[in-house]
Structure 1
Amino acid sequence: MLNALRKSANSTAGKIVFVAIGLAILAGFALGDIQSLRSGSGFGDNSGTLASAGGNDLTERDLTEAEKTALTQMRQQNPAASYADLVPQFDSFVNDLINERVMTAFAADQKLIISKAMIDAEIANIPGVRGLDGRLSEASYNRWLQQQQLTDAGVRRIIMGDIARKLTIAPAGAVPQVPVGVASQYASLLLEQRDGQVAMVAVEPFKAGLNPSAGDLQAYYAQNRARYTVPEQRVLRIAPINPASLPVPAPTDAEIAAYYDANKATYGGTETRNLSQAVVADPKVAAAIAAKVRGGASFADAAKPAGLAAADVALGSKNRTDYEALVGKPASDQVFAAAKGSVVGPVKTALGWLVAKVEGSGGTPARPLAAVRGEIVTKITDAKRQQAMADIAGKIEDKLADGASLADTAKAFGLTLTDTPPITASGASRADPAYKFPADLQPVLKDGFDLAANDEPIVKDLGGGKGLALVGVGQIIAPAPAPLASILPQVKADWIQKKASDLARATAAQVAAKVAGGASVADAIKGAGSGVIARPISARRIQIAQMPPALQAPVKMLFSLGQGKSRMTAGPQGQAFFIVKLDKITPGNATLQPALVAQTRNEFQRPTGDEVSRQFLAAMAKQVGVKRNESAIAAAKARLSQSAE
């Protein structure tokens, strides 16, 4: 359940998108069922506050801003998105916003320091906040905030909540341990063997001699008109806009030089340090670790008395930028000034007292401008072409907004407009089975079918740098049943399949009744027809997933029965019916299967970690105190639903 929580730990931009689209703000908790978050409101008549966690309020303004941001982000993927798309996610949306405040409040209670520098470093790593020159500036950051419909305070709150998660919940469920005894019990269940009998009543033999009359087919067609309804078809009018067709000025020497200077981190070479590191709260403990390492002890042994394992102190290779973002500039400067084998510290940082040993150094050499000029020219040209695409898209949209027709707009911008044949939403043509909708235009299909008859055409980004496409609706053909005459062979085959299945089911039910009455499976099938066969069946539970789908139905039924019991079940795709009787259960014993026990134990680790994280979040909520203004939340949901209508 909390699988995605740990996976997203290294993507701040991803988390901001998640909060924007109303999924789990901090990588998908989906913990709306934690009862400790559902205590009484305690807000009196203050409907402006929806909830509070440890004094951190979730206000109506916060929720409104989050909803606006969510809609903006959704429209980047689907321009037709509306507030109606947010309504089904409202409850989890609110719970996730509350969870964010729970973690922030808990971190503050535990005196876990989340400094402005730490948040600034995360902001600097968000894709899109830098300008075309690669520099991070207040102007480029503000432009990004405006594009994403976010505020600086909102972004900082989200990042603060994520850092709080890394410091609290992430470690709690990181490496759960499942007892061998527990894993052994489940492994033994996998080895359990069951023996019984199965009768199979195949449908195919019952088709012999079935020949429907015209009246039978007409009646069956009338009863199943929805089954034979042809979905809506449309003629789409599409004009592709190829990026290569847009002229852009060649990059100037000044632009190339500016780009090179702005990306010194990329082209200027990198210096790295392979580090062992410990960060502790007590300066005396840090001094003791440093003294032991300087005295010749391994870093892992020196840090062990402080409760740190070898994996905790092995930091690995870090460049200066990443390391400075982690520990701050003073500590980073000392570490990168130290030679191989040197011990740095104790040094006071925002996270505590730091001791580090330089195990090795490395990096990549700088690349001169002449060596990377071609690469920079390509990047600047691509950026200019993307800007040119954005400019022409804006001009096209303006012309359409002024009332120009699709044909006139395409002609004005020198675009080639083509019409598809009548196609379904999948791009298939019923009139021409050989027709294939162009693969490079696939992204416009959904938008073309989302447009109403009178909607103005839209400009769609084809993704992957493939350009844009102007798309509109030429004709809409409403859904309707296909004429019976045109699908007569299909209707006849369906009628025969249905009648044969009914006959097979009735026969299987008779066999099942005899078996339930005490007859053996072999005796129960006597007189049922040559197409009905009986066989012994034996399997271990672990084998079910490895079986072909056609065999899984009776075997799964075997493992759902009590000893001596029987039951009928349908096979896959309606091809047969099975009557299964369980004769014997042999318990499994995993004591001689250590590899299976170990595998089961490993498979249990992830859900166990998820549950630990879940319970820890619930405990955090209980400690900081969560109050929900249920009437205000219900009113906010009602307002969102009304705006979606």
Structure 2
Amino acid sequence: MLEFLRKSAGSWVAKGLFILLILSFGVWGIGDVVRSSGAPKAAIVVGDVEVSPAAVRQAFDQKVEQFRGFLGDQMTRETARQMGLADATVRELAQTATMDMLAKDMGITVSDDAVRAEIVKTRAFYDQGGKFSPEIFRAKLMQANLTESGYVAMLRDSLRRERIESLIATPPAVPAALADPVFRHDQERRTAESLTVHPAALTVTGQPAAEDLEKLYKEHIQEFTAPEYRKITVLTLTHQQMESRVQVSEQDISDHYAANKASFATPEQRSVIQVRVQDEATAADIAAKVRGGMSLADAAAAVKASAPTSMGTVGPGALPEEADKAVFALTVGGITDPIHSPLGWHVFSITAITPPQQQTLAQVHDGIATSLRQERAIDKVYEESKTLQDTLGGGASLEEAASKLGLTLFTIEQTDIDGKAPNGDFAKGLPSDAALGQSVLKAAFPLQTGEESPLQEMGNGYFIARADSITPPTPRPQDSVADALRQLWVSQQQAAQASAKADELAKKIDGGAAMASLAQAPAVTYSKHSPLTRDGQPVPSADLQPNPLLSPAQVKQVFSLTTVGASAVVATENGPTIVRLSAIDKADPAQNKDKLDALREQLASGLAQDIASEALDAYGARFGVKVNQSVIDQAL
């Protein structure tokens, strides 16, 4: 993300993305991604700036969710780690911390006026008329679970980092000696035609000899080998099992209610309206007029200020501290003194007060009982886990321990590592909870026959797995895979015929035959492709259809051919394909000024990005970057 933002640095797009990121961070609760030192067990330390383990985890989780939007549920946290997203997250946060440390070192600050100007020109806060709307601003912050002061602080941090980037990542001038060759390379267009031989459409005569099938069977024995299967017994100890064993008395419920009575109360709520102006004197004039008997609307109109806007119903702590104290000191119709914020000067008034509401014990009785039972069940699970380990340590089997302690025991019949039975269905007894099933299989497959796993944590308790029996990988009998062997033989014959056919057609094309005349659908199909660039994207053409697109291997071959009319055979998933270069349209930088200028900007941005990265690495070395990998591993 840092690299992407650098490419757009200085544009309204980048600033808009900074705003969206801040709002997103607010939702995730990342209000302190980077802070001054003092907290224990920091994940990353740069100088005296620290990044907390929680911040690393939250930033990593956000990356996982972003990729999950593209890849679906297959993007797990473990997959993300294998892809390097954890390392990328740490590097980005380390660079952010380095920028903050550099800003502190250089004394770079951002004034209230600069923050106010950035907020007012942020398009996310514009109304339909294209003007800044305080109501939309507040609504956006409320949606993101952010206070105004919290948002202002985060925006100030972003602007300070932006200033650091502008200092260390000024895009350099890109000379024609660099831009022109890159332009010619990237913008060159080539037109091609192709002839594809489809193996599946070719007819194979004759039958395979017994020795041919036996040879195939031996050559592909791994494909015809059943995986390892295991029978697994699992003992579970869960919160739900323990809930029925814990007692919650009426006295417990009453005591909990008394000790937490405040949490069952809704604090006083106030309906607030405000007028915002740019100077203190005007705000004071409005307040004086209201105290003199005017309505807030009339007072605002008298000084030509905007009409009062509603802030809705707010509770204690919903407003910045100074405003919160002033608002909750008012009576209905009262007006505050002028209060300053980064957005200007405010006066607040109250239109209604909703008294605090207290839920009775009867209203919350069942909820308290359930909550206490669940809490005690968790404690009970921990106690029983120690009893379970002592019981097993004393020589009891899983069956005996389950019977003695009243725990659940179940068996998974003949399963492979993926939870599949020999017939391809899900194994009998496999838990419906996919996460638990995967955990059990992961714990059970390293075990020897009769061996039990250590006590394993799961989402709602613990489990122990035992490998009851192990069936090693076994080649399936040749006669049981006869049909698959015959199909494999046919496919090989078709592939050989297709390869020979493609070579034959290539010779005819080299001899001058027109490609289109050699098509013999459905076995051999002809395509005339739109002009395309090196990235494989077709250039719109009035007389050509862009489909079918050329594969990356075909595109690479087209651009490797040196003369128009040259051809080559390329292996594709559809079968061997002969591609022929029909035309080359060389790019002329002098005739494409707009595209050349865009390329120069792109190259300059890339160079600036590289410079910034190197500079941040250098400053990091100067300040000292410490990455506590054990803390990060624990956090992730």
* Contact 1:444–1:460, Cα closer than 8 Å, also in 2: no
Q: Matched residue pairs, number? A: 472
| 2-structure distance, mates of 1:613, 1:377 | 61
**What does residue range 214-613 of structure 1 map to in structure 2 within 5 Å?**
214-241=210-237, 243-246=239-242, 247-256=245-254, 258-259=256-257, 262=260, 264-265=262-263, 267-268=265-266, 271=269, 287=280, 290=283, 296=300, 319-320=314-315, 323=318, 327-328=320-321, 330-338=322-330, 344=336, 346-347=338-339, 355=346, 357=348, 366=357, 368-369=359-360, 370-400=362-392, 404-430=396-422, 433=425, 435-451=427-443, 452-453=446-447, 456-460=452-456, 463=459, 468-512=462-506, 514-515=508-509, 519-525=513-519, 531-534=523-526, 553-554=549-550, 574-579=573-578
- Normalised to the residue count of structure 2, the TM-score between the two structures is 0.56
Q: Percent identity at matched positions?
A: 18
Query: Match of 1:226, SS?
Result: coil
Distance 1:248 1:485, change over 3 A: same
Provide, for residues 251-282 of structure 1, a one-character-per-residue CA deviation record: whole Å limited to 9, x for no partner: 5345345347636456425626567798xxxx
Distance 1:362 1:56, change over 3 A: same
Provide, for residues 332-386 of structure 1, a one-character-per-residue CA deviation record: whole Å limited to 9, x for no partner: 121344578876554478x898736469778897352233333333333333333
| 1-structure distance, mates of 2:302, 2:349 | 12
Distance 1:522 1:613, change over 3 A: closer
| 1-structure distance, mates of 2:479, 2:27 | 58
**What does residue range 83-122 of structure 1 map to in structure 2 within 5 Å?**
92=88, 95=91, 98-99=94-95, 101-105=97-101, 108=104, 109-110=107-108
Which residue is 2:25 aligned to? 9
Query: Match of 2:357, SS?
Result: coil
Query: Match of 1:323, SS?
Result: coil
Which letter does structure 2 place at the counterpart of 1:287?
Answer: E
Which letter does structure 2 place at the counterpart of 1:250?
Answer: V
**What does residue range 46-125 of structure 1 map to in structure 2 within 5 Å?**
53=46, 55-56=48-49, 92=88, 95=91, 98-99=94-95, 101-105=97-101, 108=104, 109-110=107-108
What displacement does 1:423 show?
0.6
Distance 1:419 1:252, change over 3 A: same
Which letter does structure 2 place at the counterpart of 1:236?
Answer: I
Which residue is 2:208 aligned to? 212
Which letter does structure 2 place at the counterpart of 1:258?
Answer: H
- Where relative contact order (Cα < 8 A, 6+ residues apart) is larger, the structure is 1
Distance 1:380 1:90, change over 3 A: closer
* Contact 2:197–2:501, Cα closer than 8 Å, also in 1: yes
What displacement does 1:430 show?
0.5
Distance 1:440 1:315, change over 3 A: farther
Which letter does structure 1 place at the counterpart of 2:622?
Answer: K
* Contact 2:193–2:527, Cα closer than 8 Å, also in 1: yes
Provide, for residues 483-520 of structure 1, a one-character-per-residue CA deviation record: whole Å limited to 9, x for no partner: 43332322332232233123224423543565467542
- Normalised to the residue count of structure 1, the TM-score between the two structures is 0.55
Distance 1:213 1:477, change over 3 A: same
| 1-structure distance, mates of 2:102, 2:273 | 31
Query: Match of 1:296, SS?
Result: helix
Which letter does structure 1 place at the counterpart of 2:280?
Answer: A
Distance 1:496 1:383, change over 3 A: same
Q: 2:157 aligns with which of 163, 168, 173?
A: 168
| 1-structure distance, mates of 2:213, 2:516 | 38
Q: Please list every run of 5 or more consecutive structure 1 residues that lacks an aligned counterpart in the other structure.
A: 17-24, 27-48, 71-80, 114-160, 174-191, 279-283, 304-312, 545-549, 588-606, 641-645
Which residue is 1:158 aligned to? none
Which letter does structure 1 place at the counterpart of 2:359?
Answer: P
Which letter does structure 2 place at the counterpart of 1:9?
Answer: F
Query: Match of 1:426, SS?
Result: coil
Which letter does structure 2 place at the counterpart of 1:445?
Answer: G
Distance 1:577 1:616, change over 3 A: same
| 1-structure distance, mates of 2:442, 2:465 | 11
| 2-structure distance, mates of 1:335, 1:9 | 28
* Contact 1:107–1:168, Cα closer than 8 Å, also in 2: no
Across the aligned residues of Structure 1 and Structure 2, the Cα RMSD in angstroms comes to: 5.9
| 2-structure distance, mates of 1:407, 1:383 | 28
Which letter does structure 1 place at the counterpart of 2:25?
Answer: A
| 1-structure distance, mates of 2:324, 2:233 | 59
Query: Match of 1:430, SS?
Result: coil
* Contact 2:413–2:429, Cα closer than 8 Å, also in 1: no
| 2-structure distance, mates of 1:382, 1:241 | 14
* Contact 1:240–1:416, Cα closer than 8 Å, also in 2: yes
